Structure 1
Amino acid sequence: MRKLLILTFLCPFWIYNGFGQKLYSVDYENQADIKVFVVQYENQADLKVFKVDYENQASGNEGRWFFTKYPNQAKKKIFFVKYENQADLKIFFVNYQNQSGWRNRSKMHLLF
């Protein structure tokens, strides 16, 4: 009984960590789940993104993105728009993993 109680408590954390940010960049806007614009300055972004090299590094919803080779491997398909006002999400690419994260948490739902 005690083990069951502990598993019940820990299960939501396992589920949350299972939601990685595996993305595929599509060629056409109508194929995308989310439209993204890359801003020039960090303070303009909703999300600061770090591109990881391996799929298992993209756990959680904290801006660590892994770009898949095929659309069926991705959790979300994104399209990079040319103009800021066309975007659902504004991002800024950072150089280090510990710099990634949300600046505007109201848009977190876009990547769940």
Structure 2
Amino acid sequence: MEMTKRLLFLDDIRYPIEAYHYTRQDIFLRQDWYIVRNYEQFVNRILENGLPEIISFDHDLGDEHDLKPDAQDFVEKTGYDCAKWIVEYCLDNHLDLPKFYCHSMNPVGKENIEGLLKNFKKLKK
């Protein structure tokens, strides 16, 4: 039986080793990352396998992350949407938030994700 990968890497194009090159965080050198490329894969992975030990978030998932009023149904969800989902999931299931990183190169998106998750951790204490 394959051991379930307990580290979850959310990014539409990059691999963990690439995040290591600009973050210099040794965690990204580990081989046991499970990679998800979008919101649906992120949600399904957690629903099927439970919370991972660590989640690393990218913000921009795909090219369509800007809100386009004429095509709202087709807007790609972002890492921030995944972060909001994980907060709701933890609240609904009385779980603690896993350890998290945000390896996004989008400074505003990164700040939003980290702010949301840090505030939730504070709230839970």
TM-score band, normalised by shorter chain: under 0.3
The alignment's TM-score, normalised by the length of structure 1, stands at 0.24
The alignment's TM-score, normalised by the length of structure 2, stands at 0.22
User: In terms of Rg, which structure is larger?
Assistant: 1
Specify which structure has the higher proportion of strand: 1
Specify which structure has the higher proportion of helix: 2
